[in-house]
């Protein structure tokens, strides 16, 4: 399958905004963006864009593989390949955060063994705990893993009218529940699957409607893309309507899947695509990078408390995250993914 550069760029921008969402905690006073806009405080919702993108891309890649249903061999190969994509870097970042936890508070691990086991088994977001520890953004990887487990069955359901409608109804009920109970996707961490699986299924169902977007003319598509961009910017600025943002994200994914239109032109730029290639490393490494920075430069602990004092620390963490992520993608993430897939292939042949 040819790479959808727009989606790669979209993923990169989303990862960068999630990083800024977390790093903005080090900005205070006049430098605090939350005093001017809700944009960055609401940027956690871009994690949900990851889920939508994942559902769409996996359906595009694996639709033919599961065309005749789910069999043991194809299912196992799919799960191994997806695990090879997410687990090595997850394990590395988990090890870093455990080491930092032991260094700062050796006694803390005595009460965190259950959390460690759940992180190792990628079950930390399955409703067992009400707070995430260690590399806490990895909750979405846990939810993504559950989505992978369900994916072939969701894909099969989406091929027929009645099961597809049942899937759509389930998605609508989940998103409707989140909306009614506060319209905040991060309201309750025990409901993480209720947040991740519907967004993933939205992407998958969107794949079935992709021809609707393909039939639009280039001009009309560009207008629709700009309307979506403006809508997203306004909702982020207002700092609410996060469930509606997921709907806008889904439409944006559908409107850019052919790399057509003015938004696709922007998202397909070299910098955005490069960020997209690094996006998983950016997402998984930004919290460890910041913790290492605090560990290496303890004088910074009180430094960011001043109005503009946090800016150098913020920028150092941001640049450091990008640099480490670029190295991670080239020398760890991509090579480990190939090694895991090759190892599975050799075992199959043997």
What's the predicted TM-score (pTM) here?
Answer: 0.91
Question: Cα dist. 136→124, 224, 328 in Å?
Answer: 9, 35, 19
The confidence score (pLDDT) of residue 186 equals: 59
> Domain coordinates of the chain in residue numbers?
5-343
Predicted confidence at residue 32, as pLDDT, reads 87
Return the pLDDT at 349: 44
Pick from 226, 263, 241: nearest CA to 45: 241
**Percent of the residues in the chain that have a pLDDT greater than 90, as a whole number:** 57
pLDDT tens column, 294-345: 877 766 555 555 666 678 888 989 999 999 999 999 999 999 998 888 877 6
pLDDT at 301: 54
- Dihedrals phi, psi of 135, to nearest 5 degrees: -85, 80
Q: How do residues 191-226 score in pLDDT, each as one tens digit?
A: 788 888 989 999 999 999 899 999 999 899 999 999
Between CA 6 and CA 267 the distance in angstroms is 5
Four-point Cα dihedral 247, 249, 251, 252, nearest 10: 160
Higher per-residue pLDDT: 103 or 176 = 103
d(CA 291, CA 165): 45
> Alpha carbon of 176 to those of 87, 100, 161, 184: distances in Å?
32, 39, 22, 11
pLDDT confidence of residue 6: 96
Q: What percent of the chain has pLDDT over 70?
A: 89
């Amino acid at each position: 399958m040819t790479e959808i550069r727009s989606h790669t760029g979209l993923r990169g921008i989303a990862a960068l905004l999630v990083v800024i969402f977390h790093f903005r905690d080090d900005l205070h006073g006049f430098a605090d963006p939350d005093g001017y806009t809700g944009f960055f405080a609401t940027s956690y919702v871009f994690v949900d864009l990851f889920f939508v993108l994942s559902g769409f891309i996996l359906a595009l890649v694996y639709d033919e593989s599961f065309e005749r249903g789910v069999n043991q061999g194809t299912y196992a190969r799919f799960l191994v390949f997806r695990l090879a994509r997410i687990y090595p870097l997850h394990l590395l970042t988990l090890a870093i955060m455990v080491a930092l936890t032991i260094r700062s508070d050796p006694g803390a691990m005595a009460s965190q063994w259950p959390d460690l086991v759940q992180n190792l088994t990628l079950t930390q977001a399955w409703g067992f705990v009400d707070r995430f520890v260690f590399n806490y953004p990895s909750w979405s990887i846990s939810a993504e893993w559950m989505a992978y487990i369900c994916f072939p069955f969701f894909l099969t359901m989406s091929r027929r009218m009645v099961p597809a409608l049942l899937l759509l109804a389930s998605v609508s009920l989940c998103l409707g529940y989140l909306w009614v109970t506060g319209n905040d996707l991060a309201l309750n961490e025990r409901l993480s699957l209720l947040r991740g699986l519907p967004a993933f299924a939205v992407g998958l169902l969107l794949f079935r409607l992709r021809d609707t977007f393909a039939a639009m003319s280039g001009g009309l598509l560009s207008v629709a893309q700009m309307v979506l961009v403006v809508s997203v910017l306004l909702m982020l600025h207002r700092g609410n309507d996060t469930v509606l943002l997921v709907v806008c994200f889904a439409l944006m994914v559908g409107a850019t899947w052919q790399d057509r239109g003015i938004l696709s032109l922007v998202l397909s730029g070299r910098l955005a695509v490069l960020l997209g290639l690094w996006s998983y490393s950016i997402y998984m490494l930004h919290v460890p990078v910041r913790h290492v920075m605090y560990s290496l430069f303890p004088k910074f602990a009180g430094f960011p408390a001043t109005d503009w004092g946090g800016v150098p620390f913020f920028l150092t963490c941001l640049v450091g995250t990008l640099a480490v992520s670029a190295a991670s993608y080239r020398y760890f993430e991509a090579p480990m993914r190939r090694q895991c897939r090759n190892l599975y292939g050799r075992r199959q042949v043997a």
